[in-house]
Chain A
């Protein structure tokens, strides 16, 4: 899970519309946005949300969600983070927030262990400490906001695959890397689910690694399409692999013969979703995640408990694990030909 976002963040893309105007500018400046009026520092709650880095589409989307929550819920939201995915810079950002005496800090750590001391310091200063998107040290956080449940996510991908290839036939798995633990978790959950629920699905070979590179996924997919001529579906994991797999299917004109389902970002997937070479991209919506983080911080600060099955406006029903700390936002989002343009990450 720690890796999940990082992959998403790295593979993320400029938005179809205005995103092309020099991302270097946004990436280069320490980008801080706040909402709810700075003057009201008195009795209004101030919630700080710290991403891994600012200026990339994924975290811009979550920023929009967090700011929206601030406006709707009447709290100050400070969304600030390092300009690179760097733990040391993130520590500095959090130190600044401590001296500003914010009420809550929610952080997506670049390196969980490196942040533990500064998060302890924040806790000692009476600040509510949470993590979001990626786990921090369990002992210092009061709430951990997760985008998805790994098992649900793994099973969801298989369900989508079956929806597009049918519940019998040969399929293959292309993954980012054989040692990427988050990807392996999703694949493993998906595999045991597929064996039980869809016994007529046949995995033709071991998962095929693509080194997190589009060109490798493309090359490997060309090969498996020839090696297994009866192939009906490909499940591709990591934000890059589905694009390479879809490109191979596209160039061979097999859009209607071979279904491709994968964990890609909607803007990257556009060209492949359009002609059906990628049938559906499955991920989560970072804007919702930003919104949920601020919402839950406010709940805790105002002394209300976060409970399993509670209904969060704009997000839906959330689940809370039995440890009382781990919150899961809900089912993953499907990006298809019809809706991918609505997202800008």
Chain B
């Protein structure tokens, strides 16, 4: 089992160990029902974290993701209330709208060369400000019934003791996004370019990779996924709260970092990030199920993040020290 020695393997083992403890302490934890609930309530986080993985791999950061998602959900919410629901139109509008917002980030970062955190802090404020202005802070409800029905669909039912268990349609979006992004990173030219730029920008440039184009692509893709996340989120909650994503960027970044991506760039993977999301989800779910008082939840989640990341860095340093020794001997 070579895979278990990788970074992802390590996170996987932690996840399994934690799940085993929780399964013993709470009889409901391992039920299919609980798994599906966890999946459904975390698809949006997972989709955005996959986009953020790319951003972090190229050594960037995007703190405007929550604001992009909020703005796109306001956009499609307003649209549907005014013009009704049509799956292809609304879906296209979500991803195109998100991609435009992401491209603005990407353009400012790659062409004007402002640091990513400065740009996205600015656009975080602008995007969420527009969402607030357009709605006046008011929720959008009365979404078309056809859209609500779409969000309630299930992919297929699994017969279980005591009724069938259905997989919500939102999960399909996550599966598609994860598969496509994973394939792109591993097998497409752009994927390799992303790792090259993140690993060592100078060598990448010498190899003829245009860093600015890669950056523009990655931030646009992040926007694209934020837009798709807005669509999925709205289909679950059937109302649009313009402030639903305040502070959400921190959770997204936490999931990616917990999933083993190096915050300085160069490494990270879709699998790792999905495991990071799963770990966050399981901790939060497990704490409630095992009756831990809510005042402790945030502290424990924070401890997990700090421990996991420190452990990862200590391991990496050890490896590097070994590597240096070999160099000297040669």
Contacts and interface: CB of A to CB of B under 8 A. Distances in A.
Interface of A: 9-14, 16, 20, 23-24, 26-28, 55-57, 85, 178, 204-209, 211-215, 218-220, 222-224, 226-227, 229, 240, 243, 247, 267-268, 270-271
Contacts of A220: 288
A295 to B, nearest CB: 28
Given A20-B142, A27-B136, 12 more contacts: A12-B139, A13-B141, A14-B141, A16-B142, A23-B135, A28-B133, A56-B138, A207-B294, A214-B244, A219-B41, A227-B289, A243-B239
Interface residues of B, number: 38
Given A16-B142, A205-B294, A23 B136 contact: yes
A-side interface mostly: helix
Nearest to A14: B138
A218 B34 CA distance: 13
A26 B136 contact: yes
B134 A24 contact: yes
Indicate the member of A20, A215, A224, A267 with the most B CB atoms within 10 Å.
A215
Interface in B109-138: 133-138
A214 B138 contact: no
B294 A268 contact: no
Contact of A214 (B31, B137, B140, B239): B239
B294 A209 contact: yes
Contacts of A28: 133
Contact of A27 (B44, B81, B133): B133
A294 B271 CA distance: 62
B19 interface: no
B28 interface: yes
B142 A24 contact: no
Contacts of A229: 28
A129 to B, nearest CB: 27
Contacts of B34: 226
A104 to B, nearest CB: 27
Nearest to B136: A27
Contacts of A204: 291
B295 interface: yes
A74 B192 CA distance: 76
A226 B139 contact: no
Interface string B292-304: 0111000000000
17 contacts: A14-B139, A14-B142, A20-B82, A56-B136, A178-B295, A205-B291, A205-B294, A215-B233, A218-B41, A223-B37, A224-B288, A226-B31, A226-B34, A227-B26, A227-B28, A227-B290, A243-B239
Contacts of B141: 13-14, 267-268, 270-271
Contacts of A271: 141, 238
